[in-house]
Structure 1
Amino acid sequence: MKLEIVSPEATLFSGEVTMVTVPGIDGEFQILNNHASIVSILTKGSIKVVADNIHIAKESLSKFEKINDTTYHLPIQTGTLEMNDNKIIILAN
Structure 2
Amino acid sequence: MNIKILTPENVVFEGEVESVLLPGKSGEFQIFKNHAAIVSALVGGKVKIYTDNVKSPFSKYFTKENEAKSAFSYTIKSGVLEFNNDKGIILCE
TM-score normalised over the length of structure 1:
0.90
Structure 1 position 5 matched with structure 2 position 5: yes
The match for 1:66 is 64
Question: Which residue number corresponds to residue 81 of structure 2?
Answer: 81
With structure 2 as the length reference, what TM-score do the two structures score? Answer: 0.90
How large is the Cα RMSD of the aligned pairs? 1.5
Gaps of 5+ in 1: none
Task: Give the SS at the match of 2:36.
Answer: coil
Alpha-carbon distance in structure 1 between the residues aligned to 2:60 and 2:17: 19
In 2, are the aligned partners of 1:82 and 1:88 still within 8 Å (CA)?
Answer: yes
Equivalent residues of 1:23, 1:46 under 8 A apart: yes
Shift of 1:53: 3.8
Moved over 6 A (4+): none
5+ residue gaps, structure 2, are none
In structure 2, what is the Cα distance between the partners aligned to 1:31 and 1:56? 24
SS at match of 2:65: strand
- Map 1:1-93; keep pairs closer than 5 Å: 1-57=1-57, 60-67=58-65, 70-93=70-93
Q: How many residue pairs align between the two structures?
A: 91
